[in-house]
Amino acid sequence: MRRISGPIIRATGLGGAGLFDVVEVGEKRIIGEIVRLEGDEAIIQVYEDNTGLKTGAPALSTGRPLSALLGPGLMGTIYDGIQRPLELLYSQSGAFMTPGERGDPLDTKKKWHFVPNVSLCEKLASGEKIPVAAGLVLGTIQETQSVNCKIMIPPGLKGGDITAISAEGDYTVLDTAAKTSRGEDIPFAQWWPVRLPRPSAERLSPDQPLVTGERVIDVFFPLSKGGTAAIPGGFGTGKTMTQHAIAKWCDADVIIYIGCGERGNEMTDVLTEFPELQDPRTGRSLMERTLLIANTSNMPVAAREVSIYTGVTLAEFYRDMGYHVAIMADSTSRWAEALRELSGRMEEMPAEEGFPAYLPTRLAEFYERAGRVRTLSGIEGSVSIIGAVSPPGGDFSEPVTQHTKRFIRCFWALDRDLANARHYPAISWLDSYSEYAEEVQPWWERVNAHWASARRQCMDLLKSEQKLAEIVRLIGPDALPDEQKLILMTAEIIKDGFLQQNSFDKIDMFCVPAKQVRLLELIMEFHERAKVCIKLGATLTKISGTGLKEGLSRLKSTVKNDELDGLDSFEAGMRSSLEELERSYRTREL
């Protein structure tokens, strides 16, 4: 080693190594990665604490890029950014990891019960040739009660035929699952470079929504399976809690949570709460289909940079099995700050606010690995990415937020005023948007044919309320006519009875799609019928006296998801009350 600058090291004699090869540095064999080659000199970024490292120490290339080990045993594990199992390292060295500490990403001693692909075994027994094809399923291993891990031929392996598949039995991840005519052994666990996207056969249209159970998201700003979304917001606006709620309730098969540069206490909450959460599908622990990557702000900054690539590689592995995977990246701003620090150490020319000029490229590389695809084995899978953004001071004009908006199609802007008013989720209905709404509309209209019209009417009404709010601040609400007061009243019902959701309420914490649209339908029907009454001469006080405003606001927490008949009963009562009021004023006209 010739020079050390924080996590950036310059070493000579590595001219024969490849770009992004893993390097072991110093006597403790600290893991690093070659990020630039200049003749015989290599620039290495190390992923561990290198305190005490001195110039002149050896640096040896391993000859392979930074890779993740993919196989059974990933689910329920807590890794750091370079796929070291933190629980295992804690048992070895305590709360503080020593530099060079090692741990196998997967338990190499544990045995898994393998069930081979019956049709392939029958073909082999009959003497039929089975060509080696990427994505071919050799068999399955029941990884958890919720996840059945498929053992597949990895992408990139071509040529020859399958000559043998292991019989049903118990094996470790290092054992051989199949053999080829070219003398290659296919193990149960396989390495894959984290910076290289796993290939797929075809990209599919994002026309299937990722149902989250959050009304403001599902109805107003829907995200599709295989879609990309960003949650920007200042400190305390609820980014992490929104991601937690989505992770628990969304209809993805596998959840991958990446704590990238977050404070240690926030990550501690995730690590302690997630194992205790109950999977609403199975009633078992949510960790049976969840994988955590913890890279807190006090851990080496270079590992923070690579953690999102590790997370998305693990997601693509389960996508290739036909699962729908949701990634929660919290937060991409901390990841961008790691890029900025590493770029400064490498003496690169800074761009806006000190971030490197390649920041947009790196963001694009990350978000473009999302998608709903037809896998190499011919089945459907998806990776949806939800990235939190932490703009300093809540300024959405800063570079990370602005560049992120270029590569995502769903923007859930968190509002400081809503958070201060204890309105959660604090997603602004004026600043947020979703470009998936038209694509998922056919799916929603199969749930309720009036989804699009109710959504459009509601959003138009909220925009009208925003304009009236400015007038009210100047002259007060009493100066408005009753028709405009009705707009303010309905908007208040929408905010309290639809957009606001209580994650501690056993009924309101999750809302099924059918209930979501029906609630919105009832609110808009109330508005239209009340407007007719006002035109006939009824006062807003008379309409308020019916008690319908309070009833509509309480429906979300009084009617259970599996008892939607209660909404029909309320609708009948609402129509009866407003029709009676309407008749009384029509009689007066006559």
Q: Assign 100 a pLDDT band (cuts: 50, 70, 90).
A: confident
pLDDT of residue 202: 96
Q: Name the CATH code of domain 3-67 (choices 2.40.30.20, 2.60.40.10, 3.40.605.10, 3.90.650.10).
A: 2.40.30.20
Q: Region 134-160: what's the mean pLDDT?
A: 93
Of 230, 291, 285, 286, whose CA–CA distance to 257 is shortest?
Answer: 291
Q: Assign 116 a pLDDT band (cuts: 50, 70, 90).
A: very high
Mean pLDDT is lowest, of 30-34, 94-98, 394-398, for: 94-98
Residue 538 to residue 559: CA distance in whole angstroms = 30
Domain spans in the chain, listed from the N-terminal domain onward: 3-67, 112-187, 203-264+290-443, 451-589
Quick: pLDDT tens for 167-212: 999 999 999 999 999 989 999 999 999 999 999 999 999 999 999 9
pLDDT of residue 137: 95
- Topology of the domain covering 112-187: OB fold (Dihydrolipoamide Acetyltransferase, E2P) (2.40.50)
Q: How high does pLDDT run on average in the chain? A: 91
Q: Name the CATH code of domain 451-589 (choices 1.10.1140.10, 3.40.50.11540, 2.40.50.100, 3.30.300.20).
A: 1.10.1140.10
Q: Region 422-446: what's the mean pLDDT?
A: 95
Mean pLDDT is lowest, of 196-205, 271-280, 434-443, 456-465, for: 271-280
Pairwise pLDDT comparison (45 vs 100), residue with the higher score: 45
Q: Region 30-40: what's the mean pLDDT?
A: 89
335, two tokens: 């990841």
Tell me the three state secondary structure of residue 282.
Answer: coil
Q: Region 445-468: what's the mean pLDDT?
A: 94
β-bridge partners, 383: 325, 371
Residue 518 to residue 258: CA distance in whole angstroms = 35
Of 110, 95, 151, 85, whose CA–CA distance to 291 is shortest?
Answer: 85
pLDDT of residue 589: 57
Q: Name the CATH code of domain 203-264+290-443 (choices 3.30.2000.10, 1.10.1040.10, 3.30.465.10, 3.40.50.300).
A: 3.40.50.300
Q: Assign 483 a pLDDT band (cuts: 50, 70, 90).
A: very high
Say which residues have a Cβ less than 8 Å from residue 306's Cβ, sequence separation at least 6: 33, 47, 66, 81, 82, 194
Read off the pTM: 0.93
pLDDT of residue 304: 83
Of 455, 417, 553, whose CA–CA distance to 220 is shortest?
Answer: 455
Quick: pLDDT tens for 408-426: 999 999 999 999 999 999 9
C-alpha torsion angle, residues 520, 523, 525, 529 (rounded to 10): -170
Mean pLDDT is lowest, of 267-276, 416-425, 440-449, 475-484, for: 267-276
Mean pLDDT is lowest, of 93-102, 133-142, 544-553, for: 93-102
pLDDT of residue 588: 67
Whether pLDDT at 586 is above 80: no
Please report, rounded to a whole number, the percentage of residues in the chain having pLDDT higher than 70: 99
Q: Region 396-414: what's the mean pLDDT?
A: 95
pLDDT of residue 393: 84
